[in-house]
């Protein structure tokens, strides 16, 4: 959702000469994440990414077979990064399960604020663009959402065990509802450049804890 910890701002100029190919590849992927979380896939040219990393035009295909391969790798990388972020919050036993969800929401909000609401969620961006993307992206994006959903559902089950959420709630469905709405909220927060849509959605989601 908020790639800020994965794609730190580079300080100063990157080295012009690189003997380490892995390093260049890594820089291309990081630049790809930065640009794609802002602008999506269709609006992003390879040239723009190469320019950021300052590697010569034409180098790209030394590292990646195609823009499609590059995109698939970015989906995997963003998905993994975000899964680690979720685990960081959802496995934090210093807080109650409900407290962990609040901490995640606060973290995501401050992440979006830090980047002036320019950066959204890579998976949401690509999901919205799916009509113009290689078909190979579809299953990978779907799987990523399902992975996040499973992680959230596990935390919701812990909330039930802690008495914070009614046992009647279908945790898988409640988790599915969260990601559906959350992606909508991130979209609106980017559009309106304010955290208000994130708060509006989160307030309704958390109201489900009290009323159920």
Non-local (6+) Cβ contacts of 209 within 8 A are 98, 159, 164, 165
CB of 196 to its own copies, least distance (A): 8
- Cβ proximity to its own copies: between 95 and 180 the closer is 180
- Would you give the DSSP letter of residue 9? P
- Cβ proximity to its own copies: between 25 and 153 the closer is 153
Nearest to 159 by CA among 90, 109, 106: 90
Nearest to 33 by CA among 62, 61, 53, 19: 53
* Under rule CB under 8 A, residue 182 binds its own copies: yes
* Under rule CB under 8 A, residue 39 binds its own copies: yes
CB of 60 to its own copies, least distance (A): 20
- Would you give the DSSP letter of residue 65? S
Query: What is the total count of residues that contact its own copies (CB under 8 A)?
Result: 43
Binding-site member from 113, 181, 195, 209 for its own copies (CB under 8 A): 181
Task: Show the DSSP H helices in 40-135 as ranges.
Answer: 46-53, 60-63, 67-90, 97-114, 122-129
* Under rule CB under 8 A, residue 132 binds its own copies: yes
Binding-site member from 59, 128, 157, 160 for its own copies (CB under 8 A): 128
* Under rule CB under 8 A, residue 173 binds its own copies: yes
In whole angstroms, give the CA distance from residue 118 to residue 190: 6
Classify residue 147 by burial, with Cβ atoms within 10 Å: 0-12, 13-18, 19+. middle
- Cβ proximity to its own copies: between 36 and 155 the closer is 36
* Under rule CB under 8 A, residue 129 binds its own copies: yes
User: 37 phi and psi, to 5 degrees?
Assistant: -70, -20
* Under rule CB under 8 A, residue 176 binds its own copies: yes
Per-residue binding letters, 83-122, with its own copies (x by CB under 8 A): -----------------------------------x-x--
Cα dist. 166→13, 48, 70, 202 in Å? 54, 50, 43, 18
- Cβ proximity to its own copies: between 132 and 162 the closer is 132
Binding-site member from 127, 134, 147, 154 for its own copies (CB under 8 A): 127
- Cβ proximity to its own copies: between 71 and 120 the closer is 120
| Contact between residue 186 and residue 1 where contact means Cβ atoms under 8 Å apart | yes
> Which residues of the chain form contacts with its own copies (CB under 8 A)?
38-40, 42-44, 118, 120, 124-125, 127-132, 138, 141-142, 145, 173, 176-177, 179-185, 187-188, 190-192, 197, 200-201, 203-204, 208, 211-212
């Amino acid at each position: 959702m908020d790639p800020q910890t994965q794609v730190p701002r580079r300080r100063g100029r990157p080295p012009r000469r690189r003997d380490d190919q892995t390093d260049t590849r890594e820089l291309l992927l990081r630049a790809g994440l930065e640009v794609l979380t802002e602008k999506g896939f269709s609006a992003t040219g390879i040239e723009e990414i190469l320019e950021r990393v300052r590697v010569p035009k034409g180098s790209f295909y030394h590292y990646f077979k195609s823009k499609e391969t590059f995109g698939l790798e970015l989906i995997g990388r963003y998905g993994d990064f975000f899964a680690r972020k979720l685990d960081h919050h959802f496995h934090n036993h210093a807080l109650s399960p409900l407290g962990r969800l609040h901490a995640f929401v606060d973290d995501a909000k401050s992440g979006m604020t830090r980047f002036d609401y320019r950066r959204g969620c890579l998976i949401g961006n690509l999901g919205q663009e799916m009509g113009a993307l290689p078909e190979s992206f579809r299953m990978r994006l779907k799987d990523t959402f399902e992975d996040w959903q499973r992680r959230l559902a596990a935390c919701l089950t812990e909330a039930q065990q802690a008495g914070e959420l009614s046992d009647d709630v279908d945790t898988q469905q409640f988790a599915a509802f969260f990601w559906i709405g959350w992606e909508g909220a991130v979209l609106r927060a980017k559009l309106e450049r304010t955290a208000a849509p994130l708060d509006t959605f989160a307030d309704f989601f958390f109201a489900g804890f009290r009323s159920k």
